[in-house]
Amino acid sequence: MSVRRRLVVANWKLNGDLTLIGKMSAALNGLTDTTAEMVVCPAYPYLGSLSASKVKFSIGAQNMSQYTSGAFTGEVSASMLSAFDVKYVILGHSERRAIFGESNEIIAEKFALAVKNGVHPILCVGETEEQRNNDETEAVIGAQVKAVMDKVGVKAFIDAVIAYEPVWAIGTGKTATAEMAQQVHRFIRQQVASEDQQVADTLPILYGGSVNAGNAKDLFAQADIDGGLVGGASLKVEEFLAIGRSV
Interacting residues toward ligand 13P by CB under 6 A: 11, 93, 165, 170-171, 208-211, 229-233
* Residue with smallest beta-carbon separation from ligand 13P: 231
Annotated catalytic residue within 93, 109, 185, 239: 93
Minimum CB–partner distance for residue 153 and ligand 13P (Å): 26
Q: Which residues of the chain form beta strands (DSSP E)?
A: 7-11, 37-41, 58-61, 88-91, 120-125, 161-164, 205-208, 227-230
SS3 81: helix
In the complex with ligand 13P, which residue's Cβ is closer, 58 or 210? Answer: 210
Cα distances (Å, whole numbers) of residue 207 to 71, 96, 161: 36, 18, 11
Run of H or E including 243 = helix 237-245
Pick the closer one to ligand 13P by CB: 16 or 208. Answer: 208
Smallest distance, ligand 13P to C-beta of residue 100, A: 14
Minimum Å gap between C-beta 31 and ligand 13P is 19
Residue of 184, 188, 235 whose CA lies nearest to 211: 235
Q: Of the two residues 199 and 230, which places its CB atom closer to ligand 13P in the complex?
A: 230
Active site residue 93: yes
In angstroms, give the least distance from the CB of 1 to ligand 13P. Answer: 27
Provide the residue count of the chain: 247
Choice among 102, 109, 165, 239 that is catalytic:
165
Quote the CA–CA distance of 47 and 49 in Å, as a whole number. 6
Between 93 and 110, name the residue whose CB sits nearer to ligand 13P: 93
Pick from 224, 226, 228: which is nearest to 241 by CA?
228
Residues forming the active site? 93, 165
